[in-house]
Chains A and B, each alone.
Chain A
């Protein structure tokens, strides 16, 4: 019940296309859902995050869509660029649990020009 399931494992998108990464969770106590971006050889960095009281959050070309009833959330990258090529991790956190995030297994995104 503490897991966050992420798909796909890898994704290839052409420049200008839309990249979509999906995550699902079971624990209804989760109340904070961040996405992290990791470039090769670097530590992950926070990209965007959402709380379950909103269904969508947009920051530039990055949008999180959140479906509370389905316990699913997804990352959309509009107008994908080669510089977006990285591994993306979704994560979930519960305010009622200890101070740790539960991470998905990651999606390796490759954007080709």
Chain B
């Protein structure tokens, strides 16, 4: 069965410090990968998605970046964090090309980031 691992689970970082959140998926090949952000009590904002190694699409302009160095690895980074970057970050995956069967997205457990 497929599983998704995301870490760290919680993170407190000072303003201006770098960020690296990592996500890996097991049990599937060539998945679509996503990074979402959820502010406290708010909806899900898609930040990045990737349909393959090195292929990253950005949904919103920001000081965050994403990379996909391996098929099942997705990394969210920042060189300098802002206070507004605080939130709950969720990695997710779906089956590539599962258009007619519906694109069910499976989420990880999330990473709480507090920028102080």
Residue on A nearest B101 in the bound complex, by CB:
A32
**Assembled-state Cα–Cα distance A46/B103 (Å):** 11
A51 interface residue, CB < 8 Å from B? yes
Residue pair A99, B51 in contact (C-beta under 8 Å): yes
How many A residues touch B, CB cutoff 8 Å? 23
Q: Closest approach, in angstroms, between the C-beta of A37 and any C-beta of chain B?
A: 11
Residue on B nearest A96 in the bound complex, by CB:
B99
Interface secondary structure of B, over-half rule: loop
Interface secondary structure of A, over-half rule: loop
B49: chain A residues within 8 A (beta carbon): 98-100
Residue on B nearest A95 in the bound complex, by CB:
B99
Residue pair A100, B46 in contact (C-beta under 8 Å): yes
Residue pair A45, B102 in contact (C-beta under 8 Å): no
**Assembled-state Cα–Cα distance A43/B109 (Å):** 5
- Choice from B32, B41, B107 contacting A44 with Cβ under 8 Å: B107
Chain A 91-109: CB-based contact to B (< 8 A → 1; otherwise 0):
0010100111101111010
Interface residues of B (CB under 8 A from A): 32, 34, 41-44, 46, 49, 51, 57, 90, 92, 94, 96-100, 102-110, 112
